[in-house]
Structure 1
């Protein structure tokens, strides 16, 4: 939206730095039924972040460092509707958090990637390729995945991914599972990953990326498991 004022953006990118900011506003009213008939909700979500390409910055191939703030303020419209899945992707109680802080390193001609830090599991697992453009939560991920470390509670994790030129891919991840014990990992650091309550969330996914005519697609199967400390 701001373009490249005084060449600042292009200069930063030449050193491997990319800045981004996103603001989402949502207004809703319950027309009939629900938990609060004629209930009105107005809210907004703001994300600002910085991504560092280590090759452009230091000559270190395959490294990406990401840090991002996320904040939600306003009303939780889901309380008015009583929807079990949460119809708006951004509905939550107000919070401000260092939402993402992770490092990703590719190896072996970018076939293997290791990612560690605080991250949203839905960015790498159980995501729908064309679901990002919808504010409704249904296109995002399945609500049947309990304790999934996703919005508003990303978690400290270690992930390993494999990709191939022919299309098959696979990934595994171990996440802080403290949300199972009622701990809000979105506003926490790695303390609950290494300490109490010592709960972990495991996820694995494998699949195939393909192209039919000019249309890209993906088929994937996954499995999750939890452990209690």
Structure 2
């Protein structure tokens, strides 16, 4: 039943792509493209090597508000990555570059989003869950993977392969926002027999400062004794804004040791401009 539902979501998404392309004269469409290139020098006491990798993102976003009558849009993105994977050479436990990955090119995100009222916002389609959950606002400029997402959160559908799911955001008031997400797990892409769910509460306690408390569940993780098990754990992300020049962030996460490679994670960082 769930597999049929997710297939319907995919069909609905393709339907809105057709609308966006056939009604382009009536709808506002913004096209975008960006490229990121970074280089790392690796010295592992056996040999030294310079590694270069690049990521190209292209896509468009079409405003559907005039067509549907509610504030809404469809967003489509395509990604191309090329270069050596430095993490394989360095043999680190988590990628030291956010774009480190084996070469790929595929549709990255295909999203339909609608704001149903002043408080409720919904997205469905293929999406990167890390764009909405478990990220630190003031850690985005760092290229390390650990600053992007805690390695304790196993199965979060994110780079390099987002997955099909549904996301909802509800603003209780000006200070508190809740988020819920349910996705087909990126571990078994498009198999629809392994799922990842996540919930997050964000408290804006001072201007651009906030604290996020999240809980996640991943079904059918393989434990250290090769028994399938579901894992449920929590994380905390804090972003503090001091002034225009200075900001800081903190991350903490934990997970069951039997089913993850990293069961505890803590990071702290500062920005000065």
Aligned to 2:202: 207
Report how far residue 147 of structure 1 moved.
1.2
Aligned to 1:192: 191
Report how far residue 136 of structure 1 moved.
2.0
Q: How many residues align?
A: 198
What TM-score, normalized by structure 1, do the two folds share? 0.79
Identify which of 138, 141, 147 aligns with 1:133.
141
Q: Distance in 2 between matches of 1:142 and 1:178?
A: 16
Which structure 2 residues correspond to residues 80-99 of structure 1 after superposition, within 5 A? 80-99=89-108
Which structure 2 residues correspond to residues 1-229 of structure 1 after superposition, within 5 A? 15-33=27-45, 37-55=47-65, 58=67, 60-109=69-118, 111-177=119-185, 179=187, 183=188, 185=189, 191-193=190-192, 198-212=193-207, 216-228=208-220
Seen in structure 2, the aligned counterparts of structure 1 residues 84 and 60 have a Cα distance that, compared at 3 Å, is same
What TM-score, normalized by structure 2, do the two folds share? 0.67
Report how far residue 141 of structure 1 moved.
1.3
Q: Show CA shifts across 1:100-156 (max 9, x none).
A: 0011111122x1011110000100110111232222223211111111111012110
Q: What secondary structure, in the 3-state scheme, does the structure 2 residue paired with 1:149 have? A: coil
Kindly indicate whether the alpha-carbon contact (under 8 Å) linking 1:178 and 1:192 is maintained by their aligned counterparts in 2: no
Gaps of 5+ in 2: 1-23, 221-227, 229-273
Gaps of 5+ in 1: 1-11, 186-190
Structure 1 residue runs of 4+, over 3 Å off?
A: 12-15
Q: Distance in 2 between matches of 1:48 and 1:210?
A: 36
Q: Distance in 1 between matches of 2:162 and 2:82?
A: 18
Q: What secondary structure, in the 3-state scheme, does the structure 2 residue paired with 1:30 have? A: strand
